[in-house]
Amino acid sequence: MLAVPVAGAAVAAYWLFTGHPAWLGVLVGGFAGCCLALAVAGPRASYRVERWEVTDDAVYTRKGWLTHTWRVAPMSRIQTVDTARGPVQRLFGLADVTVTTASAAGPITIEGLDHELAAELAARLTAITQATPGDAT
């Protein structure tokens, strides 16, 4: 999400300098164009490669372009379920769900969900983990 402000800063910095050389204008314009293209294409590309699923047994996620990373968190190992909404996410009605386990690989994060879906998912995971026998260690 930083691509748009970075592109704007590059263009603003170019105009603040006196004697705008043409080669620098072309360079800044190309950089700004790449940043804006990344801002438009990035979320669509992430949507195509990131997958997640929640069953009564586990939480499954898959991420990655060239190297796919599959993560599985059994319900009996889940310790906490958190949701987070930053200012940009609130602007677009999105939220992240983080499932923390005792795994050395760290928590599983499902990003960019509709905020209502994220709240429902957190409530569902909490109910399933409470009903699942195990010690979550």
Beta pairing partners, 53: 60
Higher-pLDDT residue of 125 and 133 is 125
pLDDT of residue 16: 80
Beta pairing partners, 11: none
For the cut 70, the answer to whether the pLDDT of residue 97 exceeds it is yes
Distance CA 98, CA 117 (A): 13
* Domain assignment present for 64: yes
Is the alpha carbon torsion for 12, 14, 16, 22 positive or negative? negative
The single residue listed with the structure tokens 């998912």 is 121
Q: What is the pLDDT of residues 43-61, one digit of tens each?
A: 777 777 889 999 999 999 9
pLDDT of residue 135: 66
Same domain? For 62 and 124 the reply is yes
CA angle, corner 109, sides to 107 and 113, nearest 5?
160
Same domain? For 54 and 80 the reply is yes
Q: Would you say the pTM of this structure is higher than 0.75?
A: no
* Domain assignment present for 14: yes
Distance CA 109, CA 90 (A): 17
Query: Domain of 89?
Result: 50-131
